[in-house]
């Protein structure tokens, strides 16, 4: 589902954030990406949704080679792939319903289909009763639920999350993890960069550790492996 072949990413300032990364993530896997700050986790994630392009090497997502993808084709990629951020990135002037519906409206999905899919995913994240609320009326955990609902409303094959629990208290973080586990149980591949040692050690999944732009460990059911 996700393949990287010898990917190098050198930023214009000379920093090499990916230094020859090769990885193969199969459909239905749940993968944590761990490592110290500055190790290259966000870059690894950004290369997957083509927020950054590799300096050399290949990134292939659901059969699409991102290196040869034209800019105008990027929206098609984004339909195969949901993205969840630490800071939610909701549209402040749109209510919960509209934030989730937005991705379907831009692709001119049928209105009935939009309503059904939006209400289905809001039900999955437990926010059906708050459809008319605006982001600033919601707790952090609720905002993250909206952002997850938005990421899956297109029924993507892959959901990528960069520190999705980074701004949340421990209890809310566990609730958010339950939602990711449910999404994964339905067959969606999940790739999650995280610093949350308790979660990684408790909900055992494949762990990819990155240091200095290199994969230094890749273990099924592995632990977090860093102190503090």
- 59 scored as a contact of ligand ADP (CB under 6 A): no
Among 13, 68, 71, 136, binds ligand ADP (CB under 6 A): 13
- 164 scored as a contact of ligand ADP (CB under 6 A): no
- 95 scored as a contact of ligand ADP (CB under 6 A): yes
Beta strands at 2-10 and 158-162: parallel, antiparallel or unpaired = unpaired
- Closest distance of CB 180 from ligand ADP, Å: 19
Among 26, 53, 89, 132, binds ligand ADP (CB under 6 A): 132
Distances (CA, A) of 207 to 2, 199, 200: 15, 12, 8
Tell the residue number behind the tokens 């659901």, with chain if given: 62
Residue 27 or 51 having the CB closest to ligand ADP: 51
The C-alpha atoms of residue 191 and residue 139 are separated, in whole angstroms, by 24
- Closest distance of CB 214 from ligand ADP, Å: 12
- 37 scored as a contact of ligand ADP (CB under 6 A): yes
Residues 177-216 that bind ligand ADP (CB under 6 A): none
- 11 scored as a contact of ligand ADP (CB under 6 A): yes
- 39 scored as a contact of ligand ADP (CB under 6 A): yes
- 77 scored as a contact of ligand ADP (CB under 6 A): no
Residues β-bridged to residue 9: 18
Residue 157 or 222 having the CB closest to ligand ADP: 222
What are the residues whose beta carbons fall under 8 Å from the beta carbon of 181, sequence distance 6 or more?
A: 30, 203
Question: CA 206: distance to chain centroid?
Answer: 15
Do residues 181 and 160 make contact, with C-beta atoms less than 8 angstroms apart?
A: no
Among 5, 57, 67, 98, binds ligand ADP (CB under 6 A): 98
Residue 28 or 217 having the CB closest to ligand ADP: 217
Number of residues that bind ligand ADP (CB under 6 A): 19
Helix (H) or strand (E) holding 216: strand 214-219
Other CB atoms within 10 Å distance of the CB of residue 178: 13
- 15 scored as a contact of ligand ADP (CB under 6 A): yes
Burial class (CB in 10 A: 0-12, 13-18, 19+), 133: middle
- Closest distance of CB 16 from ligand ADP, Å: 8
End-to-end CA distance of the chain: 33
Do residues 222 and 208 make contact, with C-beta atoms less than 8 angstroms apart?
A: no
Q: Contact positions toward ligand ADP, by CB under 6 A?
A: 11, 13, 15, 17, 35, 37-43, 95, 97-98, 115, 119, 131-132
């Amino acid at each position: 589902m996700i393949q990287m072949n010898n990917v190098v990413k050198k930023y214009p300032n000379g920093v090499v954030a990916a230094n020859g990364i090769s990885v193969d993530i199969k459909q239905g896997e749940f993968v944590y990406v761990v490592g110290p700050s500055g190790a290259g986790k966000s870059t690894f994630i950004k290369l997957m949704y083509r927020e950054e392009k590799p300096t050399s090497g290949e990134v292939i997502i659901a059969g699409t080679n991102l290196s040869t993808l034209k800019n105008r084709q990027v929206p098609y990629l984004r339909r195969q792939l949901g993205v969840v951020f630490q800071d939610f990135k909701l549209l402040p002037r749109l209510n919960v319903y509209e934030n989730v519906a937005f991705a379907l409206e831009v692709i001119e999905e049928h209105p009935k289909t939009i309503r059904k899919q939006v209400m289905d995913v809001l039900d999955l994240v437990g926010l059906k009763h708050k459809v008319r609320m605006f982001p600033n009326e919601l707790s952090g955990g609720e905002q993250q639920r909206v952002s997850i609902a938005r990421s899956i409303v297109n029924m993507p094959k892959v959901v990528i999350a960069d520190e999705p629990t980074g701004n949340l208290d421990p209890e809310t973080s566990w609730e958010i993890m339950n939602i990711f586990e449910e999404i994964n149980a339905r067959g969606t591949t999940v790739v999650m960069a995280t610093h949350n040692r308790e979660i990684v050690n408790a909900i055992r999944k494949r762990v990819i550790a990155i240091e200095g732009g290199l994969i230094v460990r890749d273990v099924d059911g592995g632990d977090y492996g860093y102190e503090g």
